[in-house]
A and B are shown apart, each in its own frame.
Chain A
Amino acid sequence: MTDISLPVLPTTVIGSYPRPAWLRKVLRLWKTGKFDKEQVEEALNDAVISVLSDQVEAGIDIPSDGEQRRDEMVEYFAERIGGFKFYDPIRIWGNAYYRKPAVYAPLEYRGSIVVREFMFLKSVCNKPVKVTVTGPYTIADWSFNEYYSSKEELTFELAKIINREMKALEEAGAPYVQIDEPALSTHPDELDWAIEAINMAVNNVRIKIGMHVCYGDYSKIIPYLEKLRVSQLALEFANRGFKDIGIVKKMPEDKELGFGVIDVHNKKIETTDEVYYAIKRMIEIFPARRLYINPDCGLKMLPRKIAKEKMRIMVEATRKIRGEVKDDGPVIKIP
């Protein structure tokens, strides 16, 4: 494989995308025994093709599979790693719930978790793609720990497992993996070992690795970025009205920024101008050659039509500003 050249300000998604209404129905009926596993698999594959087509039509340069097979980012991993169990769902905001897992026994890697997702996506997409992997710290932080003596011990056990998954993805040919660590900024006193655990999760993996963090105080993470062995940090900014964007000036020069320009928890569609001016503000303080454009977070909570339109606006605004930027786009190196 050859290296992948991207346009300046490449557009991408953070990961999740709304499931088509018909898929939600199939999954509901599956639970009542009205579909078999094979039929559900077919529906999931078709859903990936559908949401991929939404992203491609919107003009996204680096799409994902919209995490169509995942109900929730921690839940999905916990269901596939030995040692987890589930209680009834808990609320996360408004009326959004998730099944928070509990660790009740030693963790065990039972084989690849998302490689199959990547392989299918690769088979139906001729663009560079992004695969998302929930990070060890966030899995630990968003789980109940009933077994390990400390959260730190649990996190490092998870890091070993995630590292095996990352290596499996590299072997399968994934060019770009994003580690999702939304919990990272929530306990600053744990950052020392949390960063070490993330580094363990990406140890000896030679593909492009980004990390996504959202809804927190980024100033707590910035001092640790030098140590962190990922090349990109994707951050949410639209939700907070682009209030703290100056913080990116403190990012080390070897790190790219994934700039969140679309609010994923608000059905109001941004205007092209709003997104354009947000990017313009950003490139005044951060080099365009190290900048990717993405929504704040996964889009799955939005109605599908709105998600697609938000993507289209994001791409339109990005294309508008590309003409004003002289830098070359980034290159994804293939090992």
Chain B
Amino acid sequence: MIVKAALVGSFPRPFKVGRLMSKYRDGKIDEETYEKKLNAELMKIIKKISKDVSMITDCMFLWDDLFEPFSNSFEGLEKGGLYRFLDNNFYYRIPVVKGLIRHMDATLASFEKVRSIVRGLRGKLDIKAVLPGPYTFSKMCDNRYYSSLERLAMDIAEALGEEARELEKNGAEIIEVHEPLLTSEEIDMGLFIDSFKAFSSKFSAKIWLQTYFGPIKTKLEDLSDLRINVLGIDLVEAEEQFDRVLGIKSTWELGLGAINSRSTKLESVSSLRCLIKKTSKKFSKVYLTPNAMMDFIPVSIALAKIRKMGIASRVFKK
């Protein structure tokens, strides 16, 4: 079995980077200075992370939230008011649907920025591109245009699929798709499956389906017809998923979300190692990950947790 430590979604945007971005947005520094300073900060952080993980995302440093790049870019969308992101004290600008949704490049620049930094590092570090899933996106936006949620979800699936295709053309081998609403009591599985199929048919890169903040509310078998290569699950807030996942027949690789991205308490290496060990008979490849994006904890804690992930996965290899 191969074990790798990997990031999921975002690494917390450090305060210094936030201030830098604010200054740039407010016109207090020019683009050249901004880019130079931003790249230096990103390089510093990615260097630190890369000591312990072998796969990162673009860290979503340039994204204010999971939907912001798309509200800024896709035709038919605008940024609206602040809404709570799931049950967190973290807020996103709600995408307001005001017209027919059409794809325009949204995340290529941030992906490319991180890729160019990674190229300059020693050793191998894989990068995943991140996208919100079409189901979660359509449910978490403010639809003022489409007559039905189904039509909206299918157009979002189409546009996000185009985005994935562009990312793939530009070197993304894995697309991490965030569908936290798979853990919602009110999940409409029919719509989820239809939109996911429409989305995933647009490109051929590997798909990492990421869920968080609870157990997947449907039978895992319901996902078996979908083109999923890695299933990322939350084992912090839904420990019970562990037995379910061990019991399923599938060819998935597993994203073991065992690091609590909403708590400052550090996990023990031995407990992480124990979890990994239990999956060894079932999965050929396991990624040890946080249970969600890491925006909710301080940078210092995120780094300490990533350290534990690195040690746990290395210990296992030995």
Mark A residues whose CB is within 8 Å of B: 87-95, 97, 100, 102, 141-142, 144-146, 182-183, 186-187, 215-216, 239-241, 263, 265-266
Contact = CB atoms under 8 A, between A and B. Distances in A.
Most buried by B among A88, A92, A142: A88
B84 A102 contact: no
A239 B96 CA distance: 12
B297 interface: yes
Interface stretch (B17-25, B114-122, B130-138, B223-231): B17-25
B264 A146 contact: yes
Contacts of A145: 263
Nearest to A296: B81
A202 B300 CA distance: 37
Nearest to A74: B89
A182 B82 CA distance: 13
Nearest to B64: A94
Contacts of B84: 186, 215-216
Please classify how large the interface on chain B is, using the bins under 10, 10 to 19, 20 to 34, 35 or more.
20 to 34
B146 interface: no
B15 A88 contact: yes
A198 B255 CA distance: 39
Nearest to A182: B89
A158 to B, nearest CB: 16
Contacts of A263: 81
A90 B265 contact: no
B145 interface: no
A215 B83 contact: yes
A215 B87 CA distance: 11
Interface string B1-37: 0000000000011110011011001000000000000
Contacts of B52: none
Nearest to A190: B87
B15 A97 contact: yes
A87 B83 contact: no
A91 B295 contact: yes
A89 B264 contact: no
Nearest to B14: A88
Most buried by A among B13, B142, B295, B298: B298
B81 A183 contact: no
A102 B264 contact: yes
B45 interface: no
Nearest to A264: B82
A144 B264 contact: yes
A93 B81 contact: no
A144 B261 CA distance: 11
Most buried by A among B83, B264, B300: B264
Contacts of B12: 90-91
Contacts of B296: 90
A139 to B, nearest CB: 11
A142 B262 CA distance: 10
A93 B18 contact: no
B112 interface: no
Nearest to B92: A93
A102 B93 CA distance: 27
15 contacts: A89-B15, A91-B13, A93-B65, A95-B13, A95-B64, A144-B263, A144-B297, A186-B89, A187-B87, A215-B84, A239-B81, A240-B81, A240-B83, A241-B142, A265-B81
